[in-house]
Chain A
Amino acid sequence: MSIDTPTRPGAVGATRPALDPVTFEVLKNAFATSVDLMSEQILRTCYSFVIYSRDFSSALCDAEGNTVMQGSQDIAVHVGTLHFQCKAVLELFKDDIHPGDVFAINDPYRGGTHFNDVSFIRPIFVGDEIIGFAQNKGHWADIGGRVPGSFDVTATEHFGEGLRIPAIKVFDRGVFRYDVGALLVENTRSPEVALGDLHAQAEATSMCEREVLRLVDRYGKDTVVDAMAQAQDYVETIVRHRVAALPDGTWSTTDYLDADPGKGEGLIPITVTMTIEGDQVTYNLDGSADAVASFLNSGYGTTYSAIYAGTKTFFPDIPLNSGFYRAVQADIGPEGTVVNAGWPHAVTGFCSGPYEKLMNAIFEIWSQLQPDRALACCFNLEYLLVGGRDARSDDRPYFMWYDWMAGGWGGRATKDGSGATAPVFGVGLAVQPLEGQERLSPVLTTHHALAVDSGGPGRYRGGVGVEKGGILTDATSTVMSYCCDRARSITWGIGGGLPSIPHGVWLNPGTDQARFLGSVFSSVPVQAGDSFSRPSAGGGGYGDPLEREIDAVLEDVIDGYVSVARAATDYGVVIEAVDPELDDYRVDTEATTTLRSRIRTQRRDWLAEPAAEVAARYRAGEVDVLDMIRKYGVIVDWGTGELLEETTRQFRETLHRRAAAHWS
């Protein structure tokens, strides 16, 4: 499908008289202030710890629902969905919208993200005319459904995932509708928290309304309405201006989900093709797979969001509104695919699934267009949920340890990737303090540390990932679920750079009972005394690792980002520890030259070694995980060592394309 947004090349001033540039600049900045005030307020009054960790966004929309201004600190994943939700309210309620009304909506089949993200939308009236809408969207910690936290990995349809809100009126002409509010919050696991967020979000929208009405008082309604339209034209003009300066052409790449549980092993393609023609950017997702039999599908709203957010990464200074969406168009194809699943496919896990694949594919495409801003693949968003009964007190309340990690971003054209950074899904999404988690849940964190050797090797290394784990203390009736990906479609490098490490959770690591649970699983029973750990991947490397400065490798070894052993295997740099207590390490220059030249001559052959034999050597403990990935390009089940043949074939193909093809 293709969302019909009018294309108006050179749209600025085409139909309406332009405001003078000063009034326009003043109003544009005032719109931004009105939206940021809304964000500021929600951050200070929210109840959901997910909103508190900055999983929320705010927007001012115009009378048609188009976004005029989005908050400057908003989470990326909501970008480009707020106008859909606003338009849905307009479509469903038409004339039945009145001053003092506040609507709630979370419907992913009407352009929303997932059920947890609940939007509150307040019309802004001048007299009896709507001039815009104030909207705040925040991630509720729970929205009902089968699984605490409403992340049901095994869901294939949305029924039972959580409460679907197609747009309802929670305040009617300023009066709170207790019946509607109760229906909403009493379908969640913590109605008090949900009710708190409902009020906090609804009140936040009034902050924006007040500011816009102040502007109307000062500048007049027509001027404010004109400025809302012109703010969109303004963004469109800048984007088109920059795009016009780029060469015309078509670029394409494919990234993969790990698997479709409804099918055999084999990576699931998401193909992105981008065309530039004059000042227009157009995306096409032909070649992307059918919807998968898990919740790692994307609805149209979030697919557009990924496209806008991925593209915006290369236009970081431009404000976000519907003008951007006009200059960047997309044909996401018919319903029924993994990138346009449609009702009633489960889409809650889109964030760990297609969303990040689309964004990273777009990074790869734009890295060719803007080589000085190149960015290799970044780690995958991951959520670990441990939920059950907390036996530390006699009433054994429900607890939910709902954890996400920072990880490594991809290597760049001029420097290493950023380590231990929030996901591309939302750079403002803050890691939770473990001291807070330990108060609330019977989980003792055993470590929260940078993962050595997790950065994908490259001339500029990927940023390092993080390892976090814990042990269950006084927990009963407890299960563990995980929402991630890229245990097989491993975070990749570009321009000769190598992949990082697989995502995935280990239960009781380092013991006889060690089990690899993979990167997506649901409701695995766990007992008090069980330990668990998982890494977040590092970023993929940029450029040939054999061309990395030797001193940079040495510094990495001193700080422990890279081990002495991997300095040799990944970078061909031979380092001897003289007195590690005083950071005294020495590079053996001669041995380094020899090793680098040996790797250079042999590395293509390693990638062609028979996969079955390599897998057997892995099972025998002769080859480790990092060599499997970086040296041989062989993907197995990391727990059993069983070879994944088709996956390996696809993975090796990407290694040839992104790495080997660029080696000297």
Chain B
Amino acid sequence: MTSLRVAVDVGGTFTDVCIFDEDTHQVRVTKVPSTPDDPMVAVMDGVRRGQVDLSSVALFSHGTTVATNALITRRFPAAAMVTTRGFRDVLEIRDGTKDDLWDAYRDVGQPYIRRRDRFEVAERIDYAGNIVEPLDETQAREVARLLRRRGARTVAVCFVNSHANPVHELRMRQILEEELPDATVSTSAEILPEIFEYERFNTTVANAVLAPLVTGYVDRLGAQLSEGGYAGDLLLLHSGGGSMTQKMVQKYPVRLAASGIAAGAIAARHVATQCGYPNAIGLDMGGTSTDICLVHRGELRVTKEWAVEYGYPIIFPSIEVLTIGAGGGSLAWLDEAGSLRNGPQSAGADPGPACYGTGGAEPTNSDANVVLGRLGTTLAGGAKRLFPDLAEAALTDKVAQPLGLGLAEAAGAVVKVANANMADAVRLVSIRRGLDPRDFALVAFGGAGALHGAEVAKELSIPTVIVPANPGVTSALGCLLVDIRHDLSQMYNHPVSTIDPDDLEAKFHAMEVSASERLRHEGVSPDHAVLQRLVSMRYLGQWRSLAVEIGTGPDALREAVQRFHEQHEREFAFRRDDSPVEVYQLALKAIGTTPKPAFERHTPTSGHTPEPTSVRPVWFETDGWVDTPVYDRTTLPAGTTLAGPAIIDQLDSTTVVPPDTRADIDEWLNIRIHLTEVSR
């Protein structure tokens, strides 16, 4: 009997285990504290506490921060880099820029491999792939022996122009494998066959330093799971919003670098799609930060310009998530000129917001929500007590008195600035793509998303807010929903007018063969494999390119050019039909679809009048203090309709339904808040 699907999402504080029962269509969630020293302990603990019988699990998927944390802390096993003579420092010179342009005391972090562990061999290939200088085999072997002597466990081979001809890298790999049979070797042309040495080298180096660690973790977890009786493949969520099997992780561990943030975005897309919204913005607001993602025409925005840390790009498609320092614990403060600021500093878990009574004296967004009556006097169903008097004291001292405002006005101001910052961030992710936020629905989740969602939507003139059934564990749900996905790319830099369609077809065909092979290797049957061709284009002379879909057949390229003009106009407000267009890269998206869980659909009950559990005064900017009914979410069946103002409480979150809005409970038990005051 295999009827369970299990998804595990490891976060900084909690590890969430999301269990879907295919027989009952029910989802249940177990939360256990994360164990940063060995994340697997929490994973297995959650599985036990969730009373999961591993032999009845059909699919086990996992989002992990193991790779992200290793990159941040630089805790790697002995790693080395071998590169072309003269280019040992490409990794350290980077592009020379800094994240903070003005603070001369804030530096970019150190490279993933120190200078002492970077070695050179004589060889050179030119831009067109011609051999300028053959690989010095004697030197190559000396370097390999030296690395053995130094105990290198993983090696990145990064040669200049290897994207145009990988022959030297491949020979170097052979020599390394002969001399260091136990080490892992990553070559740059295999990991990322693209032009631009720094980006390719760093991506390869990131892959190399992660290889022993991530592979080791995944293998150990895989072994534990099969020991427990799990017969299927362990699926790992990768940065691109798909998943990969254990086998592929061994080769491309770097793809797990943003595994952790992808889950929330996937969940946001799922919730929006389920509700019939092809365009949605995900607002995942936690304790210290908010992650914002964008779904357009049913697809999450994906970017290739991405890094765990400024200066160290990882050029694999990754879901585009904008993280800003605005969370429940973000501090409200007055700067020297008396302007009311919000974040990015946070009270964190220690000392925490003032209202936690754990020593915090600085006011936070949570304190403001307590003062305004939006949060009650307990959290997590009574497990955590809140102290309104401490929140009041902090806000009075630090905000209300200095600004000469009443307490409620001060707390309202704090929330308003936080909401405006989030709205600005949403504008950045949408408007810079030429998209109008008013055409989107807002999916608000995370511990604090539902407290702020409706007001952020109002600020943006977004008409609808969706609060999923379990906002606090929505990310884990995302892990349940992913397909296997690979992203392949290759250079193909030619003006459109000079492209031979047969050559283009041959290139794509070769990529498709390779992608199908990968999917087959992962056990995906051909009828579940979906391949999509993409081509990156630009106006001849431009530097950045846009990826558009391309079909097959004689008109494919012409149609893709039309799509490019349209997309350029949509994103940048202009097009140049008279300008020549060139192709920059070819890409292939290879998807192995996994069957999706059929979530329970509830039949709406009409005419249900819910009973509030209590009534308390809540402050709104438009109306001041209003006696507001408080509902227990578990008592609200599908079909319920509530007029704002209302507060809806549940174990992991609190939803604010402002005045002049209406909240409906839909058949998936999402709360949909309709803002009636929508103006165009």
Chain A residues within CB distance 8 Å of chain B: 12, 21-22, 24-26, 28-30, 32-33, 36-37, 40-41, 43-47, 49, 52, 54, 72-74, 76, 190, 192-193, 196, 199-200, 203, 206-207, 211, 234-235, 237-238, 241-242, 312-313, 315-317, 373, 375, 405-406, 409, 412, 414-415, 418-422, 427-431, 433-436, 438-439, 444-450, 466, 558-561, 581-583
Contact = CB atoms under 8 A, between A and B. Distances in A.
Per DSSP, are chain B's interface residues mostly helix, strand or loop, or mixed? loop
16 contacts: A22-B340, A47-B542, A49-B543, A200-B574, A238-B335, A316-B104, A418-B108, A431-B95, A433-B196, A435-B163, A438-B126, A438-B161, A449-B87, A466-B93, A581-B149, A581-B150
A182 to B, nearest CB: 14
B128 to A, nearest CB: 8
Nearest to A413: B105
Contact of B89 (A29, A54, A409, A449): A449
Contact of B341 (A25, A49, A405, A435): A25
Contacts of A444: 124, 126, 132
Interface stretch (B416-424, B464-472, B665-673): B416-424
Interface in B203-238: none
Given A24-B339, A583-B116, 19 more contacts: A26-B420, A28-B339, A44-B571, A46-B542, A47-B539, A52-B543, A196-B579, A200-B572, A203-B574, A313-B102, A316-B100, A418-B108, A427-B101, A428-B97, A433-B195, A447-B87, A450-B93, A560-B115, A581-B149
Nearest to A418: B107
Nearest to B115: A559
B349 interface: no
Contacts of A316: 100, 102-104, 106
Contacts of B543: 46-47, 49, 52
A431 B93 contact: yes
A447 B416 CA distance: 54
Contact of A560 (B95, B96, B116, B199): B116
Given A427-B97, A450-B93, A558 B424 contact: no
B416 A406 contact: no
Nearest to B576: A199
B161 A241 contact: no
Contacts of A422: 95-98
B92 A419 contact: yes
A446 B120 CA distance: 13
B428 A420 contact: no
Given A25-B417, A450-B115, A193 B339 contact: no
Contacts of A193: 541
Interface string B156-190: 00001101000000000000000000000000000
A237 B337 contact: yes
Contact of B114 (A36, A427, A435, A559): A559
A77 B23 CA distance: 66
Contacts of A242: 336
Interface in B321-372: 335-341
A211 B417 contact: no
Given A406-B93, A422-B97, A430-B96, A196 B539 contact: yes
B413 interface: yes
A409 B86 contact: no
Contacts of B504: none
Contacts of A434: 160, 197
B544 interface: yes
A24 B420 CA distance: 11
Contacts of B105: 373, 412, 414-415
Contact of B420 (A25, A52, A192, A235): A25
B432 interface: yes
B424 A33 contact: yes
Nearest to B200: A435
Contact of A206 (B93, B100, B571, B573): B573
B599 interface: no
Which 4 A-B residue pairings sit nearest by Cβ, starting from the closest?
Answer: A406-B96, A447-B86, A316-B103, A316-B102
Interface in B79-123: 85-90, 92-98, 100-108, 114-116
Contacts of B576: 196, 199
A466 to B, nearest CB: 6
Nearest to B341: A25
B403 interface: yes
Given A21-B403, A33-B427, A428-B101, A561 B196 contact: no
A419 B111 CA distance: 12
A435 B573 contact: no
Given A420-B89, A434-B160, A435-B160, A21 B339 contact: yes
Contacts of A25: 339-341, 417, 420
A412 B539 contact: no
A406 B96 CA distance: 6
A145 B107 CA distance: 39
Nearest to B339: A25
B86 to A, nearest CB: 3
Interface in B515-550: 539-544
Contact of A421 (B96, B132, B424): B96
A41 B336 contact: no
Contact of B104 (A192, A375, A405): A375
Contacts of A238: 335-337
Contacts of B199: 433
Residue among A24, A25, A313 with max Cβ neighbours from chain B (10 Å): A25
Contacts of B417: 22, 25-26
Contacts of A448: 86-87, 89-90, 93
A285 to B, nearest CB: 23
Contact of A429 (B94, B96, B341, B403): B96
Nearest to A450: B89
A430 B97 CA distance: 6
B499 interface: no
Contacts of B93: 406, 420, 431, 448, 450, 466
A581 B146 contact: yes
Residue among A412, A422, A427, A444 with max Cβ neighbours from chain B (10 Å): A427
B544 A45 contact: yes
Residue among A45, A211, A315, A317 with max Cβ neighbours from chain B (10 Å): A45
A315 B105 CA distance: 12
B87 A22 contact: no
B625 interface: no
A484 B336 CA distance: 40
B160 to A, nearest CB: 7
A242 B127 CA distance: 53
Contacts of B413: 21-22
Contact of B416 (A26, A52, A235): A26
B603 to A, nearest CB: 41
A43 B544 contact: yes
A193 B540 CA distance: 9
A40 B544 CA distance: 12
Nearest to A440: B127
Given A25-B417, A581-B149, A196 B97 contact: no
B424 A29 contact: yes
Nearest to B120: A449
A173 to B, nearest CB: 18
Contacts of A317: 102-103
B421 A421 contact: no
B126 A21 contact: no
B506 interface: no
B431 interface: yes
Contacts of B94: 406, 420, 431
B198 interface: yes
A54 B104 contact: no
B97 A429 contact: yes
A46 B544 CA distance: 8
Contacts of A241: 336-337
B652 to A, nearest CB: 30
Contact of B573 (A203, A406, A430, A445): A203
B198 A433 contact: yes
